[in-house]
Chain A
Amino acid sequence: MAISLDKLVGFHQKALSVRSDRMEVISGNLANANTPGYKARDINFNKAMKSAQYEQGGLVKTNDKHLSGRSQMQAEIEFRVPDQADTGDGNTVDAQVERNNFLENGMRYQAGIMILTGKIKGMRKALGGGQG
């Protein structure tokens, strides 16, 4: 039985990368909290996770001139539906909502890191044969 390190971290690593993408989108929203006409955006985590799971590393390039076939992430970015009327400048960023989202997302990211740390610890123990 071979030990697959890829399997050990596989799923969580993808989750973390989607989480960090989401943090990026939300921080963009907050940076543009006062930009006229800016529409708040967010990543649909479910969709992003699904496409990350089935991602096969993109299309095969057989020629230098081929485009890389990895543009799947942009599709999961969706505009947020504003829950209050337009304040006059066409901006739909709700700073409080975005801050909470950022915080929640950050905590989930940290939880992912904790889980990964646990897995690595377990693997170390297994490799050391319980000798320390």
Chain B
Amino acid sequence: MSLFNIMKIASTGMGAESVRLNSTASNIANANSVSSSYEETYKARHPVFAAALDQASSDMSKGAGVKVLGIVESTKPLQVEYAPGNPLADENGYIYKPNVNIVEEMADMLSASKGYETNVQIADTTKRIFRRVLQLGQGQ
């Protein structure tokens, strides 16, 4: 029944967008967590999306859902700051700040929330249509 497939696709979309929102939240929350070494510092995380084409061909559905392949850490250079007064400063007096770009994260968050919303609307429309199908031929 392909109307159920639409629900499934919309739910993969919602799942993927919520992973994206989740990583954005974590990035923003950690935007100011400093540390005393390069390795320990938080690095911005972003999910990688891919179309779930293999599943689409196996169960004979026409549309493709989306899946999260994994989460990659940004390789941008960290911000190193000279702050000898900071308790977390290393022996040379430097602290390391995450490479989170707040502006980028905010834009990403808006895009993710719009994407989530779209998928919810699809599920809602499908539900309405499905109800109509179930009522087919009823009443006077």
Contacts and interface: CB of A to CB of B under 8 A. Distances in A.
B109 interface: no
Interface in B113-133: 114-115, 118-119, 121-122, 125-126, 129, 132-133
A28 interface: yes
Given A34-B49, A38-B51, A95-B118, A24 B132 contact: no
Interface centre among A28, A77, A110 (most CB of B within 10 A): A28
A15 interface: no
Given A31-B10, A34-B20, A106 B129 contact: yes
Interface string B85-128: 00000000000000000000000000110110011011001100
Interface residues of B, number: 38
Of the four ranges (under 10, 10 to 19, 20 to 34, 35 or more), the interface on chain A belongs to: 20 to 34
A117 interface: yes
Interface string A1-33: 000000000000000010011011111111111
Contact of B16 (A20, A25, A31, A116): A31
Interface of B: 2-3, 5-6, 9-10, 12-13, 16-17, 20, 48-51, 56, 61-66, 111-112, 114-115, 118-119, 121-122, 125-126, 129, 132-133, 136-137, 140
Interface of A: 17, 20-21, 23-36, 38, 43, 73-74, 77, 95, 99, 102-103, 106, 109-110, 113, 116-117, 120-121
